[in-house]
Amino acid sequence: EPEVTQTPSHQVTQMGQEVILRCVPISNHLYFYWYRQILGQKVEFLVSFYNNEISEKSEIFDDQFSVERPDGSNFTLKIRSTKLEDSAMYFCASARDGNYGYTFGSGTRLTVV
């Protein structure tokens, strides 16, 4: 079964550093998403991406965050200057269209120290 692949599985970074989280969505999917889950809390929507642009973003997705689909296969989330409160599990997801449940990746655990 096709999978959404996320790398790395775990990233440790120092506060103030830039991080890029990488995702390879399922190849025929058109919608792409980032969600995050702070330890012990809800899964929260960050951003959706369709037709090479952001469709929606949440209040969490401020100027420190950006997304890119640089080469038609990868989908990246960049955090420019990480803060301690950015520590979370970040999930990438993709969907074939808007009517179906997403396929989530296994996540990247980001730890900011």
Which residues here bind other proteins, judged by CB under 8 A? 31, 33, 35, 41-45, 48-51, 55-56, 58, 91, 93, 95, 98-107
Quote the least distance from Cβ 12 to other proteins, whole Å.
16
Q: Which residue matches tokens 């995702």?
A: 23
Quote the least distance from Cβ 80 to other proteins, whole Å.
23
Quote the least distance from Cβ 70 to other proteins, whole Å.
19
Distances (CA, A) of 89 to 8, 53, 62: 11, 24, 18
Q: Which is nearer to other proteins, 37 or 64 (CB)?
A: 37
Do residues 108 and 11 touch, judged by C-beta distance below 8 A?
yes
Do residues 58 and 51 touch, judged by C-beta distance below 8 A?
no
